[in-house]
Structure formats: structure tokens, C-alpha cells
Amino acid sequence: MKYRLVIDKNAQEEVIAVVHAPSALTQAIENLVCSFSGPGFIMGHAEDEVRRLEFGEIELVTVFDRKVIAIDAKGNRYRLQERLRDLEEALPSYFIRINKSTLANEHAISRFDAVFSGGVDAVFKCGHRDYVSRRCFAEIRRRYEGK
């Protein structure tokens, strides 16, 4: 197998892979390329500080009191300037919608818990819990069953 990287600031970016047959490697490359969405971070505001939040350290993005909030792996909350629907397009593909007002990093979900009311909660590594709507849970199940 050969690898070649050409850096040309004037050329349009594209990734071309020439293979004999699809494999786990080609799927991993496709997932990586498709999930890349620009710089890989957003700016979060907490009290008097503005902090650069890498996509990988964000566990979920949700709406509290009509404000868009990002919660990181330590449970810290940062207010974001972007709207949730704009973030849904900008965030990598491993961010999934779990309800009308929350986008979750699927790598940060530790488990799904059934609740007494018959619904399902997503439990994150930072300890935060959020409900999963039935429609979104059906989509999540299809996504995991497809893997």
C-alpha cells in the first residue's frame, strides 16, 4: 500500500483512495473524512472566560433557559453563540440528536437507562442524564444495528 499527501494551498481539498475492494480500513477512512467539519472546535463562554472547546471534549450540546449550552467531560457548562440547528450541521457525525433540544457525543454516552415512565435516558460519562425521545431512540437503534 502506498500513501501520498500533497499540500497545495491553492487546490480544492479532496481525498481519493484507490483500493481493490472495500474493507474495514476503507470504511474507517470514509468515516474520518466525512466526520471532519473544519477547525474542530467552537468557542464557549463561562462567566468571564472564553474557552476553546475541542469537539472531542464536548459531551453534549443542549438548550437550557433558551440558551445553547455545551457540557464538557468534567461537567463544566459553557454558553455558545451558535444556534442548535447550526451546530447540528457544523459538528462531526458522531454527534447525534437524542431529543428536540440536545445533541450528544455518542462516544460520551456511557449507557442508556430505562426509566419508570417507559422512556429512555442517556447517561453521559460526566454524570449528566438527558431523556431520549422515542423518535430519536428509534434512529439511534437503527444506527447501531447498522454497524
Contact (CB, 8 A) for 59 and 125? yes
The pair phi, psi for residue 32, each rounded to 5°, is -65, -45
Residue 37 has pLDDT above 80, yes or no: no
Q: The dihedral of CA 45, 93, 20, 146: what is its sign?
A: positive
Mean pLDDT of the chain: 87
For residue 113, what are the contacts with CB-CB under 8 A and spacing of at least 6? 120, 121, 123, 129
Residue 18: predicted pLDDT: 85
pLDDT at 15: 78
Helix (H) or strand (E) holding 137: helix 134-146
Grid cell digits, residue 121: 435516558
> Residue 113: what pLDDT?
92
Residue pLDDT, tens place only, 107-139: 999 999 998 888 899 999 999 999 999 999 988
Domains of the chain: 41-146 (2.40.50.1020)
The pTM of the full predicted model, rounded to 2 decimals, is 0.69
